[in-house]
Amino acid sequence: MNNTIDAVVKEKLGKESSGHDYLHAKRVVKNAISIASDYKVDLEVIKVAALIHDLIDHKLESKFKLSIAELETLLIENKYSINQIVMIKDIIENISFSKGNVPSSLEGKIVQDADRLDALGAIGIARTFAYGGKNNRLLYGDKNREDSLSHFYDKLFKLDGLMNTKKAKEIAIERIKFMREFEQRMLSEI
Ligand code: NI
């Protein structure tokens, strides 16, 4: 892993509090490495794309972001090849759920799965409510379904069907099972 780029991400996203922070990026790297062990891929592209994937995300406040041109400069300075940079840009521009795209490379599909896995399970629950709080959402019960619990039904419980790789799908199914238990428990307490 490139230490300079790691330090940039830590500096930019270290204090991001809606669940897209530096430690999210590190978990996505870890998930991606684990999924990638089943495939013959450029692991360096996977690691750096996973690490920087949220730096251009429209959901983030501008102080946490870099422009695509700034990222490109960073990658060039850190000796990534033109081919790698093209692939990395394709990954980070097409990864997000809201756009509904799929990155063209297998490396990108793996990073997309890795990011989606971090929206699931116990960590996914924690991130959903953190994001909701940061964006003035109710925990549950908003009549327009803009509350955090509705996000489980409207997006998260569907993510297993959107995984690109078999391994990620298996992990997603197991994590969603736990989230359904949490949801039932939450509803019973409500
Ligand atoms: Ni992300």
| Distance (Å, whole) CA 41 – CA 49 | 13
pLDDT confidence of residue 97: 75
| Distance (Å, whole) CA 47 – CA 33 | 7
What are the start-end ranges of the H helices in 14-117?
Answer: 22-36, 43-52, 68-77, 82-94, 106-117
Distance 78 CA to ligand 1 centre (A): 22
Q: What is the pLDDT of residues 74-126, one digit of tens each?
A: 999 999 999 999 999 999 999 987 778 899 999 999 999 999 999 999 999 99
Distance 155 CA to ligand 1 centre (A): 15
* Ligand 1 ion: nearby residues, β-carbon < 5 Å: 54, 115
Distance 170 CA to ligand 1 centre (A): 20
In contact, 128 and 152? CB cutoff 8 Å: yes
pLDDT confidence of residue 1: 66
Buried b (16+ CB within 10 A) or exposed e, 102-126: ebebbbbbbbbbbbbbbbbbebbbe
Closest C-alpha to 117, from 65, 179, 55: 179
What is the identity of the amino acid at 130?
A
Closest C-alpha to 179, from 105, 123, 106: 123
| Distance (Å, whole) CA 16 – CA 83 | 31
pLDDT confidence of residue 96: 85
pLDDT in tens, the chain (190 residues): 679 999 999 999 999 999 999 999 999 999 999 999 989 999 999 999 999 999 988 788 888 989 999 999 999 999 999 999 999 999 999 998 777 889 999 999 999 999 999 999 999 999 999 999 999 999 999 999 999 999 999 999 999 999 999 999 999 999 999 999 999 999 999 9
Burial class (CB in 10 A: 0-12, 13-18, 19+), 90: middle
pTM: predicted TM-score of the whole model, two decimal places: 0.95
Distance 189 CA to ligand 1 centre (A): 30
Distance 175 CA to ligand 1 centre (A): 17
